[in-house]
A and B are shown apart, each in its own frame.
Chain A
């Protein structure tokens, strides 16, 4: 079946601009995760949803970052007033109920100029 998809794949933003990144998880997957991957580093956790409930947002770096999953399926990560340090690849992953494995999307590469 279809995997996790993310859009856009690439986004160039001017500093101060707001951006919205979309994640379509694998159909039926209850859990959804967002990670941030800086160049040359491993992914770092941002936030986690179970269905529409955001159960952990401890990794969001500032109040400029906001994520939602209103119907328990598609999720959007929004970054307000982007800064250069927000430049990274943003990864989405989903996981089926009761399973261990997270399945990752291809990521959105964000470049803030």
Chain B
């Protein structure tokens, strides 16, 4: 079945550091891929998405590129801020309506 594997956390960085959170997936065919973010005390919010191979999703300085050859969708940001502290979830959707999520990566940015 379809599955998503994320880099284990927690991840702690200093402000302005470069961020990478790894995400790989297992699926037949060509799923749509998503990154959701959960800020403290808030609900899940869509951060970015990509629907086909080589697409790059971007939002709020975050980027992720859909890599079919490596079945990956790694999240990157060039310079993180304290306000980026949150839990990040990689997810896929293929055919069926439901989303399949990774286990989440908790990110803490220190000033």
Contacts and interface: CB of A to CB of B under 8 A. Distances in A.
A1 to B, nearest CB: 16
A106 interface: yes
A59 interface: yes
Given A43-B44, A91-B43, A101-B46, A56 B51 contact: no
B45 interface: yes
Contacts of A56: 96-98
Given A35-B99, A42-B104, A107-B43, 8 more contacts: A4-B43, A40-B104, A41-B103, A42-B4, A42-B101, A45-B100, A48-B97, A55-B97
Interface of B: 4, 32, 36, 42-46, 49, 51, 89, 91, 93, 96-104
Question: A-B pairs with the 9 shortest C-beta distances?
Answer: A42-B101, A45-B98, A104-B44, A106-B43, A104-B43, A42-B103, A43-B101, A42-B104, A48-B97
Interface in A1-35: 3-4, 31, 33, 35
Interface residues of A, number: 25
Contacts of B97: 31, 33, 48, 55-56
